[in-house]
Structure 1
Amino acid sequence: MNHRKLGMLVALLMGQGALAATPRDTLVVQQAAGISTLDPTATYDTFSSQVVENIYETLWTYKGASLTQMTPLLAAQLPTYTNGGRTLVVPLRQGVKFHSGNPLRCADAEYTYRRNLVTNSPESANWFVSDALLGTPKNAADDKSVTWARIRSAVKCDAQGRLVFTLAKVDPAFMTKLAHASQGVLDRNWAIKQGEWDGTEKTWRDWVGKDVSGSQLSLHPSGTGAYRLVSAKSDGVILQAFPNYWGKAPAIRNVFLQKVAELAPRQQAFLWGDADLIEAGTRANVDAQLRGRPGVVVVDGLPSASAQALFMNNKVTPSEALGSGKLDGKGIPANFFSDPDVRRAFVAAFDYGRFIREVQGGKGTPRTMLLPETFLGYSRGTQLPAYNPAEARQAFQKAWGGEVWKNGFVINANYRTGHVLGQTALEILKQNVEALNPKFRINIQVEPWSEQSVRFQKGEEILLPMGWSADYADPDNFMYTFYSSQGYFYPSNNWKDAEVDRWLDQARATIDPAARARLYRQVAERAADRNAFVLLPADQNVRVIRSNLRGVSASTYNPMRSFSFTGTFLRELSKN
């Protein structure tokens, strides 16, 4: 398409005039948020990732809908671990060009991962790559063990032009970490030309922890992906198919991502055919406004890569939230949930079926553990939690030697602003618990995430709805995060088990999938037996597309891909 024709199409699509339907070679997407960066090194959020993963490419990616199998992208073939699981030697694909016209070389990949390690910050996704390669998630400013010599030896090209990763420790999740959009390979010469880090020892310290989200590379990207950037503004992004792409030419030539903050205008544009894909809101929004309408296809029952629970804090940091701080009917002691019978009562008092009906439109599925079912190690043999008021009553009567039932309690539980799922879960639990004994009371309050994120890390939250979405498709991202006493969420529940910690450490130290799966199933059994969490049922993703769009289905949907909520790369889409 010539620039004049593209300009006319831009004017129509980005303006106010409605089209009966978007052109066959054009995709129009409307979403609530804008793009924060197009520099892979700084990419962490979904909206940026969905663009970056189509401009840039990683060494490999997930194979179809699988979360356990990979397929090469810029790697010529999938490598195998050597040196006891600490070394990966990666041959690169030949004949690949960047959008600048520069050829892909090993030096580009070497520069990419060194830049990621140098600029690594908590706001980027590079902490988990640094943890694998350098043995710490921190950068050189925060961890003095990070030196240029260590960075240089962790990532380098060998004499055959192959990329060599040398890990600080065995990390079975490393290959999935490199499939994250943030690990897309950069055009070294182009980046340096834009004024970015020159890749040398002389200047590396000037770039340690530097925020590159607004870099010149973000404004002027050059990747190897099937699409190149035409324009990026506050109200939208325009992409066009790259004519020299090494793979199959995509059927969709032009892509327009428009920022439309309000849901109603997005839905109207979708129904008119002015948008092919939209951020459609919740399942309730889809069912009420879009399902069954002409030209609309609802793709339902799609897997989720997240897990949620109600956290019961076994050791609350003393605060006013504890009320009296005693078992006197006016509050709770800080260690209230450390009694196994208290936890058992709360698990049995939650109505899982009602939650599925009222919150998930009947599409949810009970879980045995805090791990998505499609991930390695999910334990289908562990007994599912069940709503059992009689068991809950019995457990409450035994808890704390009968003092809980005799004196009652007041629990102050919080959910974050806008977390409807968490709010409803607390309301269901509150109703069922309070029905057992008039002396039981759960007060539900809302608080902004800015406050909650600080409070739960301090251990001040008592009964908290919280979840986690995968950064990368490895069970460790969930299991260690939720169950380890060294995990991110430990301060919010303070449940600790020495055997669980040992099993999780063992799973981190082996690349044997069968051994890891066995260890994770052991964790699931122990946590279920101890009633460590109130596990919330798994949700199923639902997506809406125009009926002439092809390439989105349950057989192709991968929850680890970001683009426009389709679970696919742009290059895999087409229209009738």
Structure 2
Amino acid sequence: MNKKMKLLLATSLVSLTLFSPVLAENMLRVSYTEDPKTADAQMTSDDYTLPLNIFDRLIEAETTKPGESALVPGLAEKWEISDDGLTYTFHLRQGVKFHNGAELTADDVVYTFDRMLNPATKALGTDILTFVAGSQDRLDGKADSVSGLKAVDKYTVQIQLSQPYAAFLALLASPQASIYNRAFTEAAGDKFGLTPETTNGTGPFILRDYTLNDSQTLEANDNYFRGRPKLDRLLIRVVSDSETLRMLFESDEIDVFDLDYAPTQTPYFYGSDQWKSLIRSGPRVGLYYYNINQNKKPFDDPRVRRAFQMSIDRQAILDKNFYGRGKLEDGVMPRGLTCYAAAAPIEYNPAKAKELLAEAGYPNGVEINLQQVSSWSSKWSDMNQIIQAQVAEAGFKANVVTTDEAAYLAARKAGDSDAYTQVWSADFNDPDNFFYTFFSESGSKVRAYNNNDPEVFTAVDKARGMTDPAARCKLYQDLTARIVGQDAAWVPLFSLDHSFVVQKRVKNFVVPWNGWSDMSYYKVEVE
């Protein structure tokens, strides 16, 4: 670090120190199962509590009601999209201050996204900027800047795409798109986000203490542009053991108990007279599914795939493994996702499935393999064993094949893995997050579906650039009918409810729409 950068960082740290408010006891106490390691949203792919509370984004995805969200203005108070869908112009709020007192400018936005694409950063999540013109050249080290990023003036940012992409705004609301201050972040270098002294955002809370593998303490930002949070402090404790977490909660040392971190405690809390009225639950925008690899016989025949769909009692799995806290899903889009519409129900009918197998040339049944990864949690092996027993009634002789994760991932990437069960939660609220991931030409192979349907490939690509929302949603709904019904390309299982138990003093707690446990606590209050 040169002398100029050292001086700049020192000045910024002084500003942060002077900004420190008086501590108070109006504090919310939450937990995490492991240390997030960094507050830098560009350097994590799954720990978003710190970024969602310390930083802001141009646009925010705000939970509007259980399992649903809307895109609302964030650091950008308004924006325009050109008729051809290629140019996005964002008008920043004026007077927004970073925690160190610096004012937000268009240059900070350009810097933030350029930093993500700079190969020296080694950032994760760069795919949110894939469609920005010049992004690949920057990632490949062929350019010193991103041609599609431009600060038009102090408060106006223009982003040029290489091709229309309807989900772009939704991506800009994801945690990875958190906005940083150029001067401070450059001064902090590779230490950015690792300590309170090297962390600086515009968000509702300021990082004040970071004790590795123990806790993080955040304090209210008195100068937050939306208004000061009702909370004075937010304490995030690292608690890996579910029994310890429950003990801390019941002894009033934790205010929010996330049942995702201790699912075996679900029956206890739902059956407790003390706690059941304090459960806050909402649908998780994600779904469990069973992959079918069409390159593996007998799944090259759609009748066999349909028989496999019909031979699984999905409700029994939901009830046994997840205490019935969820809803069966019949399509590619889970409830709560933009464009969601109920799909045609998948019938559970082992007798009819057996008839389909006979029609496909397997009157005496057929042998299949179910993939299992040795290092994954027991819930996956439990599901495989249940499905192994269920599909036998229809004539499927299922072998559970166990491999290590490296072998599984390599086989899947090559399109050669056996059928497997998994879960996918929305990273951003747009159908593209599901359809392109699983059923684009590239996604279908690298996730070992091999659903080689040219009409599906064409439609998935077309939908990405459509600017008419109603027509785009209709196309996705038609695609669902083709993929799940006609092609029988996978088995959607169910989406789960996301449940939290809160102390009586916690008010205005809203279950986040997304597939994570991470959320902004800006609107939460305690009495």
Shorter-chain TM-score above 0.5: yes
Match of 1:222 among 200, 208, 214: 200
Take 2:272 and 2:262, find their aligned partners in 1: how far apart are those partners? Answer: 16
Rounded to whole Å, the distance in 2 between the matches of 1:538 and 1:529 is 22
Match of 2:12 in 1: none
The reply to whether residue 302 of structure 1 matches residue 278 of structure 2 is no
State the Cα distance separating 1:290 from its structure 2 match.
Answer: 6.9
Measured at CA, do residues 259 and 218 of structure 1 come closer, stay the same or move farther in structure 2, by a change above 3 Å? same
Residue 179 of structure 1 is aligned with which of 173, 180, 186?
173
Question: C-alpha displacement at 1:38, in angstroms?
Answer: 1.3
Q: What one-letter code is carried by the residue in structure 2 that aligns with 1:541?
A: H
Amino acid at match of 2:224: Y
Q: Is the 8 A contact 1:106 1:157 kept in 2?
A: yes
Q: How big is each residue's C-alpha offset from its partner over 1:539-565, in whole Å with a ceiling of 9 and x where there is no partner?
A: 111111112101224xxx332385xx3
> 1:102 is aligned with what amino acid?
A
Q: Secondary structure at the match of 1:62?
A: strand
Does structure 1 residue 284 correspond to structure 2 residue 264? yes
1:431 to 371, 389, 395: 389
How far residue 397 of structure 1 moved from its aligned partner, in angstroms, is 0.7
User: Contact (CA 8 Å) 1:65, 1:558: kept in 2 or not?
Assistant: no
CA distance in 2: counterparts of 1:358 and 1:548, whole angstroms: 33
SS in 2 for 1:392: helix
Name the amino acid aligned to 2:70.
Q
| CA distance in 1 between partners of 2:386 and 2:169 (Å) | 41
Task: Give 1:123 shift.
Answer: 6.0
- Give the conservation status (yes or no) of the 8 Å contact 1:484–1:496: no
Flag the 1:487–1:184 CA change in 2: closer, same or farther, 3 A: same
1:412/1:351 Cα in 2 relative to 1: closer, same or farther (>3 Å)? closer
Residues in 2 aligned to 1:217 and 1:434: alpha-carbon distance in whole angstroms: 52
RMSD of Structure 2 on Structure 1 (CA): 2.7
Taking a change above 3 Å as real, the CA distance of residues 261 and 159 of structure 1, as seen in their structure-2 partners, is: closer
2:242 corresponds to which residue? 263
Q: Any residues of structure 2 matched to 1:134-145 within 5 Å, and which?
A: 134=133, 140=138, 143=140
Aligned to 2:526: 575
Check 1:188–1:7 CA distance in 2 against 1; reply closer, same or farther (3 A cut): closer
Q: Counterpart of 1:248 in structure 2: which amino acid? A: G
Matched, 1:54 2:53: yes
Deviation string 1:457-487 (CA, Å, 9 cap, x unpaired) is: 1233211112222221111011111122221
Q: Is the 8 A contact 1:58 1:183 kept in 2?
A: yes
| CA offset digits 1:136-157 (Å, max 9, x no partner) | 6x5646x47x5235x0x31111
8 Å Cα contact 2:508-2:525 kept in structure 1: yes
The answer as to whether partners of 2:41 and 2:176 remain within 8 angstroms in 1 is yes
**Equivalent in the alignment of 1:516:** 472
Answer yes or no: is 1:422 the counterpart of 2:383: no
Deviations 1:151-177 (A, max 9, x none): 0x3111114631111111111111111
Q: Please tell me the residue identity of whatever aligns with 1:455.
A: A
Given the superposition, is the C-alpha separation of residues 295 and 354 from structure 1 closer, same or farther in structure 2, using an over 3 Å criterion?
A: closer
**Residues 216-265 of structure 1: CA distance to partner in whole angstroms, max 9, x if unpaired?**
34331111111111111212111111222222211211111111221111
Code of the residue aligned with 1:222 in structure 2: it is N
Looking at structure 1, the residues matched to 350 and 275 of structure 2 have their Cα atoms a distance apart, in angstroms, of 46
Deviations 1:248-306 (A, max 9, x none): 21121111111122111111010010111234334432222575263675435412121
Structure-1 residue corresponding to 2:182: 188
Q: Structure 1: give runs of 5+ residues left out of the alignment.
A: 10-22, 197-211, 316-333
| Aligned residue-pair number | 502
Shift of 1:83: 4.6
- For the 8 Å contact 1:236–1:256, the answer to whether it is kept is yes
In 2: Cα distance, 1:432 partner to 1:505 partner: 36
Note the 1:58-73 alignment, pairs <5 A.
58-65=57-64, 67=68, 69-73=70-74
From 350, 361, 369, the equivalent of 2:331 is: 369
**2:35 alignment partner in structure 1:** 34
In terms of fraction of residues, the more strand-rich structure is: 2
Q: Is the alpha carbon distance of 1:301 and 1:263 closer, same or farther for their aligned partners in structure 2, counting shifts above 3 Å?
A: closer
Aligned CA distance change for structure 1 residues 529 and 375 (closer, same or farther; 3 Å): same
Identity between Structure 1 and Structure 2 (%) = 23
- Shift in Å at residue 525 of structure 1? 0.9
Letter in 1 for 2:156: R
Q: Aligned match of 1:411 in 354, 364, 369?
A: 369
SS at match of 1:336: coil
Aligned partner of residue 503 in structure 1, secondary structure = helix
Q: Does 2:342 match 1:388?
A: no
Report the 3-state secondary structure (helix = DSSP H, G, I; strand = E; otherwise coil) of the residue aligned with 2:31: strand
CA displacement at 1:101 relative to structure 2? 1.2
| 1:118 maps to 2:118 | yes
Residue 325 of structure 1 corresponds to none
- When the two structures are superposed, what TM-score results if normalisation uses the length of structure 1? 0.81
- Matched position secondary structure for 2:471: helix
Which residue pairs with 2:143 in the alignment? 147
Q: Are 1:162 and 2:156 matched, yes or no?
A: yes
Kept in 1, the 8 Å contact 2:42–2:123? The answer is no
CA distance in 1, matches of 2:200, 2:495: 39
CA contact (8 A) 1:50 1:561 kept: no
1:369-404, Cα deviation, whole Å (9 max, x unpaired): 121221222232x311121011111011122xx2x3
Alpha-carbon contact 2:56-2:201 (below 8 Å) kept: yes
Structure 2 length-normalised TM = 0.88
**Structure 2 matches for 1:350-361, cutoff 5 A?**
350-361=312-323
Partner of 2:303: 341
For residues 89 and 243 of structure 2, the distance between their equivalents in structure 1, rounded to whole angstroms, comes to 50
Structure 1 stretch displaced more, 359-368 or 60-69: 60-69
Query: How many Å separate the matches in 2 of 1:8 and 1:170?
Result: 49
Match of 1:327 in 2: none
Helix, strand or coil at the partner of 1:80: strand
In 2, the alpha carbon distance for the partners of 1:398 and 1:432 equals 20
> Separation in 1 of the partners of 2:224 and 2:253?
28
Q: Alpha carbons of 1:123 and 1:240: their partners in 2 closer, same or farther (altered >3 Å)? A: same
Partner of 1:16: none
Counterpart amino acid of 1:158? V
Distance 2:120 2:357 in 1: 48
